[in-house]
Structure 1
């Protein structure tokens, strides 16, 4: 799995990202927002994957295309005269209600276990319309104390245990997740890093929520619901309708105008289906790095299990 975690201080007593690294991450966001406002595409960069695994998405913060969608009461696009307008905030609130029973069949993971995940990926290039599909399987150490096996874009990566001063953020250890607030207002405040609402801080909050919900981790149902409700309070969130189906299910997306990723939900049940991300590859042209080969990537978590060893599926 890619774009999973970042180290950052969340509350007293929890190890996190240093002030220097946090300032650097915030500077990346500021640069992306500023360059987007001038109509330029920000050049992405990369931090150490083991230390800041979620940085791939941070480098992708940019304007996300989207439209407002009107859906019928049965969840279908507007094809009849009987219409019902659903806002982005309402979709997130309904997803919160739906998620309160999510993953209740999964055991609480022990620190010495692994998360097994199977993820279906669809990548469509904007120019040429080429589409690639593949399935990634990964085994990630719950507390990071053991080696992990991660499949990304079909390629196998063997990740060593986390170093002495490395921690994952958001956490994957269940006891740490239980200490996170389930009050939506308090959680939103932490998503904003304790700062007031602004375009930059709200983009940061949307990004924080995205990383918490992406996984792989087993979230306490109350926390997952609180995350959706917290994000529903953000101004500027909107509905996207680029993907008519996700894994055969009709989907509607919720995005932020300065973020290149979108939450995808079932149009009828409001089950959380996965993420769509706008990405690109970098190429050196006339001595300067340019972003080329833009694409939409949709990732759908098909299965997650708590297992005892690498290679085990159930």
Structure 2
């Protein structure tokens, strides 16, 4: 078994380069875990923070050869809606993260609209980010628009808090998580337990995990990373996969509920966050979290933190974000 203290020691190793921020350290740890546990190289590409918040409440339309999916933010819909789990806001002392995630899964099953993008198409997303300096209280808003190649065979355009760049296509035998190509997504189980075990198998040489009881704290950390990335970064999924991912997330030890959290639009919801079991005893890491409506459990947005600078000049920001819209388009930079 790997020694988590040795992994943490690597964070402070002085290579002469500027210190890493926390998000970068997490990416490095995930890649190191993969390199230690698996014979194949598995490259995890993600933003400094996995901040794209997704919703299952989307309506799809096909227009002029381009599949367009339009989000209905204000709740007004022309299709049937799920019955809310409660007629009024539940007493948060009696509600668990598992209850909220099961409710989110039920909501997704009622509202998900399945589409099948081609490998040669692009996933367009428009994300709204509200970022607040934790020290000064100064707030800025950003609009990030991404065009990601479905099968990663073409270069993609990605943005991070207002700055954009071209992301090159994947190299031969290079893979990423989360996948967006339909063929790979369809292979993921839609049973939550089987989904967890399929993710766990990637961290064991030869696979073979048969029971959730066999998973270590480090395994669960990596599984949470994969599930969160899948839910945040993949707006197009086969039928049943998103609900399964929500329910699987609820099975991860350390997932907990934080009541009375504001989303980017000022709505009060309940947040589902994660306590990393590999952190030192007594340490907390309330940073990345999903925010849900407390009555219907509809997904509202995402909360995360970002750091910049070093030492006394380091700044920490609270980020609230939501997906304003998404679409499947034929060309990069093509808007729906």
Q: If the length of structure 1 is used for normalisation, what is the TM-score? A: 0.72
Q: Residues 177 and 226 of structure 2 are in contact (CA less than 8 Å); yes or no, is this contact kept in structure 1?
A: no
Q: Which residue of 2 aligns with 1:62?
A: none
| Counterpart Cα distance in 2 of 1:156 and 1:128 | 26
- Alpha-carbon offset, residue 298 of structure 1: 1.9
Q: Which residue of 2 aligns with 1:98?
A: 107
- Alpha-carbon offset, residue 99 of structure 1: 1.0
Q: Secondary structure at the match of 1:231?
A: helix
| Counterpart Cα distance in 2 of 1:275 and 1:178 | 26
Q: Which residue of 1 aligns with 2:57?
A: none
| Counterpart Cα distance in 2 of 1:42 and 1:117 | 25
Q: Which residue of 2 aligns with 1:309?
A: 331
- Alpha-carbon offset, residue 188 of structure 1: 1.8
Q: How many aligned positions are there? A: 260
Q: Residues 29 and 200 of structure 1 are in contact (CA less than 8 Å); yes or no, is this contact kept in structure 2?
A: no
- Alpha-carbon offset, residue 311 of structure 1: 2.5
Q: Residues 191 and 206 of structure 1 are in contact (CA less than 8 Å); yes or no, is this contact kept in structure 2?
A: no
| Counterpart Cα distance in 1 of 2:142 and 2:325 | 15
Please give the per-residue CA displacement for 1:76-121, whole angstroms capped at 9, x wherever unaligned: 7x7xxxx7721111000000111114441x6310000000100011
Is 1:226 aligned to 2:248, yes or no?
A: no
Is 1:87 aligned to 2:96, yes or no?
A: yes
Match of 1:156 among 159, 164, 170: 164
Match of 1:176 among 156, 159, 184: 184
Q: Which residue of 2 aligns with 1:292?
A: 314
Q: Secondary structure at the match of 1:229?
A: helix
User: Where in structure 2 are the equivalents of 1:39-188 lying within 5 Å?
Assistant: 44-45=24-25, 51-54=43-46, 56-57=48-49, 74-75=88-89, 85-104=94-113, 107-188=115-196
Query: Structure 1 residues 168 and 29 mapped into 2: Cα distance closer, same or farther (>3 Å)?
Result: farther
- Alpha-carbon offset, residue 44 of structure 1: 4.2
Q: Secondary structure at the match of 1:189?
A: helix
> For structure 2, which runs of at least 5 residues remain unmatched after alignment?
13-20, 32-41, 51-85, 204-208, 277-284
Is 1:237 aligned to 2:259, yes or no?
A: no
Query: Structure 1 residues 169 and 73 mapped into 2: Cα distance closer, same or farther (>3 Å)?
Result: same
Q: Which residue of 1 aligns with 2:281?
A: none
Please give the per-residue CA displacement for 1:241-273, whole angstroms capped at 9, x wherever unaligned: 463234354321101112531112122221223
| Counterpart Cα distance in 2 of 1:28 and 1:227 | 30
- Alpha-carbon offset, residue 190 of structure 1: 3.2
| Counterpart Cα distance in 2 of 1:312 and 1:154 | 18
Over aligned residues, Cα RMSD in angstroms? 3.4
Please give the per-residue CA displacement for 1:152-198, whole angstroms capped at 9, x wherever unaligned: 11112112222223222221111211111111111122344447344
Please give the per-residue CA displacement for 1:40-91, whole angstroms capped at 9, x wherever unaligned: x96944669x953227359xxxxxxxxxxxxx95227x7xxxx772111100
Match of 1:271 among 253, 278, 298: 298
